[in-house]
């Protein structure tokens, strides 16, 4: 896929995270899964890192380790900014350090998956 498509997908996902993290969903039925919102945060940032790193990869301006570092750094900063916005600008949400940790976990899982796939490609060239 061309890099512009990856950029658009990454930007759309970034906006989706902001909307879903800042909008009031109290009227929706709750989940019976303990800490379900932490899993959601991890998934949000897993996909975030996958999309942004793919954009950086297709742009060809960064080496693999640098692009993964940039994507995870962007995820951490963005996740922290969302938490700050929840604390400052919403009355139904609150900033939560556990959400930041869940964001980091999802981002790290995305990086580890990409590193594993990269290693497999190097050891098993086609």
For residues 56 and 6, give the distance between their C-alpha atoms in angstroms, rounded to a whole number: 9
Give the largest Cα separation in the chain, rounded: 54
Q: Decide if 117 contacts 124 (C-beta within 8 A).
A: no
Q: Which DSSP state fits 24?
A: -
Which of 119, 101, 112, 5 is CA-nearest to residue 49? Answer: 112
- Distance CA(108)–CA(41), nearest Å, equals 12
pLDDT of residue 13: 97
Could you tell me the pTM of the whole model? 0.88
| Mean per-residue pLDDT over the chain, rounded | 89
51 closest CA partner among 104, 107, 118:
107
Which pLDDT value is given to residue 40?
93
Q: Which residues of the chain have pLDDT under 70?
A: 25-31, 126
Dihedral angle computed from the Cα positions of residues 43, 49, 50 and 51, in that order, rounded to the nearest 10 degrees: 110
Q: How many CA atoms lie within 13 A of 121 on its CB side?
A: 6
């Amino acid at each position: 896929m061309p890099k512009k498509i990856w950029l658009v997908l990454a930007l759309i996902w970034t906006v989706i995270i902001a909307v879903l993290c800042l909008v009031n969903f109290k009227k929706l039925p709750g989940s019976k899964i303990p800490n379900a919102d932490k899993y959601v945060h991890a998934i949000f940032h897993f996909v975030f890192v996958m999309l942004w790193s793919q954009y950086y990869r297709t742009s060809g301006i960064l080496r693999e380790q640098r692009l993964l570092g940039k994507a995870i750094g962007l995820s951490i900063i963005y996740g922290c900014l969302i938490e700050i916005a929840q604390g400052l600008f919403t009355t139904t949400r609150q900033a939560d350090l556990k959400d930041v940790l869940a964001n980091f976990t999802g981002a790290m899982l995305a990086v580890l998956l990409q590193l594993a796939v990269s290693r497999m490609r190097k050891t098993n060239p086609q």
